[in-house]
Amino acid sequence: MNSRSPSPARLEVTALEGIPEVSENADLAALLLAGCAQTGLSVYDHDVIVVAQKIVSKCEGRRVRLRGIGPSARAIELAAATGKDARVVELVLRESRRVLRVGREVIVVEDIRGLVLANAGIDQSNIGADDPEAEALLLPLDPDASAATLRAALNP
């Protein structure tokens, strides 16, 4: 993606302007194309568009309100060991195949997708909530399918 014709020997990274706060069921492809246009960019074959997981999770409705989460005994135990909210720990357990390591403020897991990561990728920062402590954002269920859907929408 650049402001002139593509060159195979060139790497350019540009942040898109005008991308609004994204909500569930937003048309992410349309938002990205509008951001490209506002930034003065065209999309060419073989361009790579990098999208943060957070924006995809928001579009896919992976936001969870903690109020409705009842922590299990295991979640309460791990919360005591990590200092994390037991409801968030419950989400970590639900999103994981197995717990690999527990430390202060972190639980390293193999998640349901087979990825090894901290806290099952669950995030509470910068999610656009009135009270971020009351909500959490989960990873997309199938990141490969999310990417394929977005690629298809960008390349009709």
pLDDT in tens, 57-102: 999 999 999 999 999 999 999 999 999 999 999 999 999 999 999 9
Fold of 64-137: CofE-like fold (3.90.1660)
The CATH label, of 3.90.730.10, 3.30.1330.100, 3.40.50.150, 3.40.50.1820, for the domain at 1-62+140-156 is: 3.30.1330.100
Amino acid at 64: V
Query: Which tens digits make up the pLDDT trace of 108-154?
Result: 999 999 999 999 999 998 777 677 679 999 999 999 999 999 999 98
Structure pTM?
0.84
11, burial (CB in 10 Å: exposed 0-12, middle 13-18, buried 19+): exposed
